[in-house]
């Protein structure tokens, strides 16, 4: 069976994923192809074309197209909850009760139109809508490889109406226990404070998380933003998660928080500095988010986790690596599986996996994210030779060994190898690398290459054979979705990848998943004594991760990068590349 999953239901993070006979054969975000971060307002046309092309499949052969947005019945508690909580915006109350599936109908129309553009024959191809949070849940549970009963957590901004999902998976079937509905969204509150702290909602939440360790959560109490309500919570929409006339406005732009929040906390932050009091607000928001997620996890899933020890987690909130560290630290959690594409881009894969399992197919654990395009040496050389910038190049005899020597000498290297990663993390396919014991390398990459805030941290890729010594646990960590406390003995050995709070968001590299990257780390171990490399995504601030050789050369020429290793070729701006 050929199942094509598409996403972009909420007008951002459009993507496509292809599952054939139970195997994930391709997946990619639209932003990478059209060079527009988050691909807002776009359907995943280029991503879908790539998936079909890479598998050698004609669009007319697709059996099912699935999309992570479904109709919600008027009898559902979701629509009535939304109407009750948005009483202060009567237009929204009436709309949700009288025309509550308007967005679903629009999305369905967009998918059908996109299908025609792709060459789908709707006379022979079935369209299946999957609820947004079921798609998130499936992307984590059905691809976790967990055979036993598994707790499932979904924390997201919102889907159709649901914002937070608690359930469990057993024998391949997902069971709901509890959902919370808009505007009661923990991720929504985090997003509102993200906007208040001067970042873009749905893009800057990880910046708030990175800023938080510089502050003191005890200095400000943000608890009034989220109030206890029975066994759950309600958001105080006089401060955050606001709509209509309650929204704070600047230069005609409305934000997801109110004037009341600004009156309380002071002016909205501007600029790139991590300064007071904003670092303390970031710390307080991070703590509030963690505490509420953990409390609700215990309330609704505690008994199941104690029974099985397994938890699968997805939704944008699952990318909060500090929360994930606290979850892993719980005594009754044996293993946490976080979907690597946990945000909305992963719902294309989640919708496809949900339908695949429903139709009787058996899926395996998702062990890697190398599901995007790859380019041959000949394709890379063609782009290199056509470059009009003053570059030189040569073919390397031993790519890992010669690249390790450049890194060990204290130079950042753009690393373009194999298939592009699916999801937000660069994991050795489209990366900028540095030697983690080279003093100042992090600042240099931030300021001269990525052009981003100086205080932003970097993460390490580490060999599997040394990982347990560095992070003091044998918990799996292949996707950079969890932070760990770094062993004191390693902090001085790899200082450029240890964050302000002594943690690191680690990628554990296995030879079977990425042999060339593994070999590079082995060579670094020989030269430096550390089987660790600083790894960040190959992109500049505000841009998507690079996809093609042309993208990589544009990035190389538009920054202070001096070395680009593209498949077997070393590209340099220096006169002498020997």
Residue 485: which H helix or E strand, with range? strand 483-485
> Order of strands, edge to edge, in the sheet holding 126-129?
23-29, 15-20, 2-7, 64-67, 126-129
* DSSP-derived 3-state class of residue 532: strand
Distance CA 465, CA 459 (A): 18
Residue 28: which H helix or E strand, with range? strand 23-29
CA atoms within 13 A on the CB side of 300: 25
Residue 508: which H helix or E strand, with range? strand 507-509
Cβ atoms < 10 Å from Cβ of 223: 14
Q: Answer whether 545's CB lies under 8 Å from 420's CB.
A: yes
Q: Is the dihedral of CA 409, 525, 400, 446 positive or negative?
A: negative
Cβ atoms < 10 Å from Cβ of 90: 11
Give the list of residues 6+ apart from residue 378 with CB closer than 8 angstroms, or none: none
Q: Answer whether 462's CB lies under 8 Å from 570's CB.
A: no
Tokens for 393?
């190049």
DSSP secondary structure letter of residue 223: G
DSSP of 85-149: HTTT-HHHHHHHHHSTTHHHHHHHHHHHHHHHHHT--TTTSEEEE--HHHHHHHHHHTTS---S-
Distance CA 241, CA 299 (A): 24
Catalytic residue among 12, 81, 368, 475, which? 12
Tokens for 193?
């404070």
Which residues are paired to 247 by β-bridges? 258
Report which of 160, 189, 149, 81 is spatially closest to residue 301, judged by C-alpha positions: 149
Cβ atoms < 10 Å from Cβ of 363: 20
Return phi, psi of residue 16, to 5°: -140, 150
Q: Is the dihedral of CA 364, 368, 372, 373 positive or negative?
A: negative
132 is catalytic: no
Distance CA 230, CA 329 (A): 27
Distance CA 484, CA 469 (A): 11
Residues involved in catalysis: 12
């Amino acid at each position: 069976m050929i199942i094509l999953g598409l996403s972009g239901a909420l007008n951002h993070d459009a993507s496509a994923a292809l599952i054939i006979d139970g195997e994930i054969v391709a997946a990619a975000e639209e932003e990478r192809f059209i060079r527009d971060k988050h691909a807002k307002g776009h359907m995943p046309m280029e991503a879908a074309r790539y998936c079909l092309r890479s598998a050698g499949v004609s669009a007319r052969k697709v059996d099912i197209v699935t999309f992570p947005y479904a109709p919600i019945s008027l009898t559902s508690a979701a629509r009535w909850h939304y109407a009750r909580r948005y009483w202060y915006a009567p237009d929204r109350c009436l709309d949700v009760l009288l025309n509550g599936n308007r967005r679903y109908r629009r999305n369905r129309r967009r998918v059908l139109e996109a299908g025609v553009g792709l060459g789908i024959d709707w006379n022979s191809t079935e369209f299946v809508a999957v609820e947004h949070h079921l798609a998130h849940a499936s992307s984590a549970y059905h691809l976790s490889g967990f055979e036993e009963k598994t707790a499932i957590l979904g924390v997201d901004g919102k889907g159709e109406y649901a914002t937070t999902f608690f359930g469990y998976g057993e024998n391949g079937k997902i069971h709901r226990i509890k959902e919370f509905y808009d505007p009661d969204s923990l991720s929504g509150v985090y997003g509102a404070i993200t906007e208040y702290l001067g970042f873009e909602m749905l893009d800057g939440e990880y910046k708030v998380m990175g800023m938080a360790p510089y502050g003191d959560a005890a200095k400000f109490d943000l608890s009034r933003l989220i109030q206890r309500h029975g066994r759950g919570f309600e958001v105080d929409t006089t401060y955050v998660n606001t709509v209509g006339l309650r929204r704070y406005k600047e230069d005609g732009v409305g934000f997801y928080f109110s004037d009341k929040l600004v009156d309380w906390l002071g002016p909205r932050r501007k600029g790139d500095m991590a300064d007071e009091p904003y670092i303390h607000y970031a710390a307080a928001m991070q703590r509030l988010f963690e505490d509420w997620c953990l409390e609700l996890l215990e309330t609704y899933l505690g008994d199941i986790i104690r029974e099985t020890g397994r938890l699968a987690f997805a939704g944008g909130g699952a990318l909060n690596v500090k929360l994930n560290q606290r979850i892993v630290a719980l005594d009754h959690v044996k293993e946490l599986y976080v979907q690597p594409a946990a945000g909305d881009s992963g719902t294309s894969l989640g919708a496809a996996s949900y339908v695949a399992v429903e139709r009787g197919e058996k899926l395996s654990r998702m062990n890697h994210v190398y599901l995007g395009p790859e380019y041959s040496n000949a394709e890379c050389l063609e782009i290199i030779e056509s470059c009009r910038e003053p570059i030189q190049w040569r073919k390397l005899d031993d790519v890992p060994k010669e690249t390790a020597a450049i890194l060990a000498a204290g130079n950042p290297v753009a690393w373009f190898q194999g298939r592009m990663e699916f999801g937000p993390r660069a994991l050795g396919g489209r990366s900028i690398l540095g030697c983690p014991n080279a003093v100042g390398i992090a600042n240099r990459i931030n300021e001269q290459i990525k052009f981003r805030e100086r205080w932003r941290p970097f993460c390490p890729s580490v060999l599997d054979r040394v990982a347990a010594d560095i992070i003091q646990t044998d918990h799996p960590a292949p996707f950079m979705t969890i932070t760990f406390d770094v062993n004191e003995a390693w902090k001085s050995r790899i200082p450029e990848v240890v964050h302000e709070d002594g943690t690191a968001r680690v990628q554990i590299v296995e030879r079977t998943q990425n042999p060339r990257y593994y070999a590079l780390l082995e060579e670094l171990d020989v030269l430096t004594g550390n089987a660790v490399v600083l790894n960040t995504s190959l992109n500049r601030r505000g841009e998507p991760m690079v996809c093609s050789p042309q993208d990589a050369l544009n990035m190389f020429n538009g920054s202070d990068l001096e070395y680009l290793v593209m498949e077997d070729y070393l590209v340099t701006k220096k006169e002498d590349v020997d």
